Chains A and B, each alone.
Chain A
Amino acid sequence: MRLGAMFMDIFRSFFTPPVTEKYPFEKPKTAPRFRGRLHFDPAKCTGCNLCAKDCPADALEIVILDRAAKRYVARYNLDKCAYCGQCIQSCKFKCITMPNDDWELAALNKEKFTAYYGKDDDVANLMDKLAHPEPPPQTG
């Protein structure tokens, strides 16, 4: 039984710098495998929708603008995403990556949490459709 078994540690700490990371003045380096925000490459997408089907958080949705011409836009909700990486596994064509440098995702309003990925004119087309929805077809 010793009194003060941690004495050496305490004594040494007095002469070594503290281990606290001084975020946000010094940003830590993330590991290469770290899963940051999702990025979607529309060039290889075939619209199979497996990524959206397997997402445990319903964060990813593939909007099909034109299946024959392969015009797809991905709607991604950053706030719902669990950053698990299952979509990367499910996609057979390697359209999805989660690079490790985009992880400071806090925002002050919720609009920033919905991202659209696709070819520029496809995305513009979709935003246009969302802003001006077509009236439902008349029946009868």
Chain B
Amino acid sequence: MTTETLLQRATEILAPFSKGNSNPEANRLDVNIEASDLPAATAALLSSEWGYLSAITPTDLGKEVNKLEVIYHFCEGAAITSLRIHLPREDQPDIPSISDQIPVASFFERELSEMLGVHVVGTPDSSRLFLPDDWPNGVYPLREDFSIEQAAPVEPRETLPEMGRVGNKFTVPIGPQHPALKEPGHFEFAVDGEIITGARMRLGYVHRGIEKATEQRNWIQNLYLLERICGICSHTHTSAYAMGVEKLAQVDVPQRAQAIREIVAGLERVHSHLLWLGVAAHEAGFDTLFMYSWRDRETVMDLLETLTGNRVNYSITVLGGVKYDFTAEHSRAIHKAMDYLEERIRYYLHIVTTDASFLQRTRGIGTMSLEEAKHFGALGPTARASGLERDVRIDSPYGAYHHFPVSLITAENGDLEARFEVRMKELLVSCFTIRTIVDNLPAGELAVRFPRKVPAGETISRVEAPRGEAFYYIKSGGGESPTRLKIRTPSLCNWTSALNKSIGHQLADVPMLIAGMDPCFSCNDRMITVRRKNDSQTISWSQMREYGIKKYAEIRETK
């Protein structure tokens, strides 16, 4: 179906609820609806199998308009339907929940309620997601009148209800500090012997308030801020942002620049999946595979340093194009690295599908069927391993993917082994695509002029990060900074599937299940509260902070 047909269908499905439609961009349909019609509209879209919920954008429209806006984005192929709801700008206006129909919406609704101060009626979990436990009540960061002085810490309250100890069942906490986690996050698993009976999680340990921070920086500075959301999906973040802003400014990026962006994206995917392979192997206890895959990852990183100047956070994208060119020498270096890497990747694919001890830890573990993947809103390789054909590069090609497409890799089993298989095969596809582009690099300029002020408007761009779909909603007011920037990263959607699948498995499988969805905590969070409590002494955060400041003052004095 073409995008027009899809949008036509969506218009018909939503006709009973619509208070006004508009087409802000060729592939987008905006439908204004009443808050009370939200569950019915969602049900209408789901029953017609039109799209999946991709993100929920909360915005404060400001004092003049005096309204709050909540936008629900549904994506199908390249078409995006946004349900726009206006709410009165008061403390805790009501909006109905759609978590009963779409489980992943629970995460978005938690974010909505804590960031914008909207009361989501009927949501199953209203505990805090990103904000720390000692954040004062009634202070909402995304409101226009928010200032940092309002956020003075209060007495922390435990927001996750205790799962308790029943008989010989107890709760095992994993995180925020745990050798299994490469980044902090808090999981609680209720175990009965070794079998897991309940799972709960808390995020926000590396939340940096990036969405709000972009509003205080100009368009160029934001490129680098967004790059540093995550170390291994950095290029996808800049690509999504640059694409969106270039659309708003109606600037055409030259073909050569787009091709170079795709090459770097492919190399980043290689980097990310090799890193993931090592980490997942380490979680399984297979340190040898960890060491070897990270050794080979050095090849990619050295190549990226040669091409872009840095091993991580490449900074090759500028608004309007790219910074550096690829000469014949660079092409040779790329081919050489690809020769080596393709051989090693085939070898790793062979290992993860044939090594008996590794298969014992991955085959049949965490099996997620196609229906479950759809229901949980899984994205990226986690979804593709269950047979769900969802890949933004193919559904909604962007940039150079029109000219240099990639093939879709799926697997049927949906277990951990399938996820390993899908990622390794994706790497082989990436290597092939990189080679093709390098051999057929279009001629042209590297970058075009870009205005300092971007015309007013809003746009949505979606790219395929190594972990799944990254969703960007960019709104400009015509100035030098964005008015609103909403980022929804793929890992947030994949948590539901990981947690649900862990129930019934053993505790030993948990690190592998978490690793299997390739979580990127930094991508999720954009305030760190650390509470340490051993049985004999409770140290509150403020006490620990004072202790730290005093201690370093002493050290400085003795120097």
Check A56/B224 contact, CB under 8 A, given A9-B292, A35-B309.
Answer: yes
Q: List, in ascending order, chain A residues with CB within 8 A of B354's CB.
A: 1-2, 5
Taking a contact as CB atoms under 8 Å apart, the answer to whether A86 and B315 are in contact is yes
**A106 at the A/B interface (Cβ < 8 Å)?**
no
Q: Which one, B221, B295, B309, contacts A55 given CB within 8 A?
A: B221
Identify which of A26-34, A38-46, A61-69, A117-125 touches chain B. Answer: A26-34
Check A30/B295 contact, CB under 8 A, given A3-B356, A10-B288, A35-B310.
Answer: no
Check A34/B305 contact, CB under 8 A, given A6-B351, A56-B217.
Answer: yes
For B280-319 the 0/1 string (1 means CB < 8 A from A) is 0000000011001001001000100111111001010010
Taking a contact as CB atoms under 8 Å apart, the answer to whether B359 and A86 are in contact is no
**B324 at the A/B interface (Cβ < 8 Å)?**
yes
**A54 at the A/B interface (Cβ < 8 Å)?**
yes
What residue in chain B is nearest A10 (Cβ atoms)?
B288
Check A31/B305 contact, CB under 8 A, given A1-B354, A2-B356, A6-B355.
Answer: yes
Check A33/B324 contact, CB under 8 A, given A2-B355, A3-B356.
Answer: yes
What residue in chain B is nearest A35 (Cβ atoms)?
B309
Which of B220, B354, B359 has the most chain A CB within a 10 Å cutoff? B220
Taking a contact as CB atoms under 8 Å apart, the answer to whether A56 and B295 are in contact is no
Q: List, in ascending order, chain B residues with CB within 8 A of A82's CB.
A: 224, 228, 313
**A130 at the A/B interface (Cβ < 8 Å)?**
no
Check A85/B288 contact, CB under 8 A, given A1-B354, A2-B354, A90-B220.
Answer: no
Q: List, in ascending order, chain A residues with CB within 8 A of B347's CB.
A: 9
**A113 at the A/B interface (Cβ < 8 Å)?**
no
For B347-361 the 0/1 string (1 means CB < 8 A from A) is 100110011111100
Q: How many chain A residues touch B (Cβ–Cβ < 8 Å)?
A: 27
Taking a contact as CB atoms under 8 Å apart, the answer to whether A3 and B220 are in contact is no
Cα of A9 to Cα of B292 in the assembled complex, Å = 9
Smallest Cβ distance from A126 to chain B, in angstroms? Answer: 26
Check A5/B224 contact, CB under 8 A, given A30-B305, A33-B307, A56-B217.
Answer: no
**Interface SS majority for chain B:** helix
**A53 at the A/B interface (Cβ < 8 Å)?**
yes
Q: List, in ascending order, chain A residues with CB within 8 A of B358's CB.
A: 5
**A137 at the A/B interface (Cβ < 8 Å)?**
no
Check A89/B305 contact, CB under 8 A, given A54-B221, A56-B221, A56-B225.
Answer: no
Taking a contact as CB atoms under 8 Å apart, the answer to whether A54 and B356 are in contact is no
Cα of A90 to Cα of B218 in the assembled complex, Å = 13
Cα of A30 to Cα of B359 in the assembled complex, Å = 40
Taking a contact as CB atoms under 8 Å apart, the answer to whether B356 and A31 are in contact is no
Taking a contact as CB atoms under 8 Å apart, the answer to whether B309 and A34 are in contact is yes
Cα of A31 to Cα of B222 in the assembled complex, Å = 26
Q: List, in ascending order, chain A residues with CB within 8 A of B165's CB.
A: none
Cα of A34 to Cα of B310 in the assembled complex, Å = 6
Interface residues of A in 1-16 (CB under 8 A from B): 1-6, 9-10
**A115 at the A/B interface (Cβ < 8 Å)?**
no
What residue in chain A is nearest B303 (Cβ atoms)?
A31
Cα of A124 to Cα of B313 in the assembled complex, Å = 36
Q: List, in ascending order, chain A residues with CB within 8 A of B218's CB.
A: 53-54
Which of A5, A83, A85, A89 has the most chain B CB within a 10 Å cutoff? A5
Taking a contact as CB atoms under 8 Å apart, the answer to whether B315 and A84 are in contact is yes
Smallest Cβ distance from A91 to chain B, in angstroms? Answer: 13
Taking a contact as CB atoms under 8 Å apart, the answer to whether B350 and A85 are in contact is no
**B323 at the A/B interface (Cβ < 8 Å)?**
yes
Cα of A76 to Cα of B203 in the assembled complex, Å = 36
**B41 at the A/B interface (Cβ < 8 Å)?**
no
What residue in chain A is nearest B352 (Cβ atoms)?
A5
Cα of A9 to Cα of B287 in the assembled complex, Å = 13
Q: List, in ascending order, chain A residues with CB within 8 A of B307's CB.
A: 33
For B311-341 the 0/1 string (1 means CB < 8 A from A) is 0010100100001100000000000000000
Q: List, in ascending order, chain B residues with CB within 8 A of A3's CB.
A: 355-357
Cα of A132 to Cα of B544 in the assembled complex, Å = 39
Cα of A90 to Cα of B289 in the assembled complex, Å = 44
Interface residues of A in 49-82 (CB under 8 A from B): 53-57, 82
Cα of A30 to Cα of B310 in the assembled complex, Å = 10
**A48 at the A/B interface (Cβ < 8 Å)?**
no
Smallest Cβ distance from A54 to chain B, in angstroms? Answer: 5
Taking a contact as CB atoms under 8 Å apart, the answer to whether B310 and A83 are in contact is yes
**A107 at the A/B interface (Cβ < 8 Å)?**
no
**A19 at the A/B interface (Cβ < 8 Å)?**
yes
Cα of A2 to Cα of B357 in the assembled complex, Å = 9
Q: List, in ascending order, chain B residues with CB within 8 A of A30's CB.
A: 305
Q: List, in ascending order, chain A residues with CB within 8 A of B224's CB.
A: 56-57, 82, 84, 86
**B79 at the A/B interface (Cβ < 8 Å)?**
no
Taking a contact as CB atoms under 8 Å apart, the answer to whether B323 and A31 are in contact is no
What residue in chain A is nearest B363 (Cβ atoms)?
A1
**B385 at the A/B interface (Cβ < 8 Å)?**
no
Q: Could you tell me which B residues sit within 8 Å of A by CB distance?
A: 217-218, 220-225, 227-228, 288-289, 292, 295, 298, 302, 305-310, 313, 315, 318, 323-324, 347, 350-351, 354-359
Q: Could you tell me which A residues sit within 8 Å of B by CB distance?
A: 1-6, 9-10, 19, 30-35, 53-57, 82-86, 89-90
22 A-B pairs within 8 Å (CB atoms) are namely: A1-B359, A2-B356, A3-B356, A4-B356, A4-B357, A5-B351, A9-B347, A31-B305, A31-B309, A33-B306, A33-B309, A33-B324, A53-B218, A54-B221, A56-B223, A84-B224, A84-B315, A85-B309, A86-B220, A86-B224, A86-B315, A90-B220
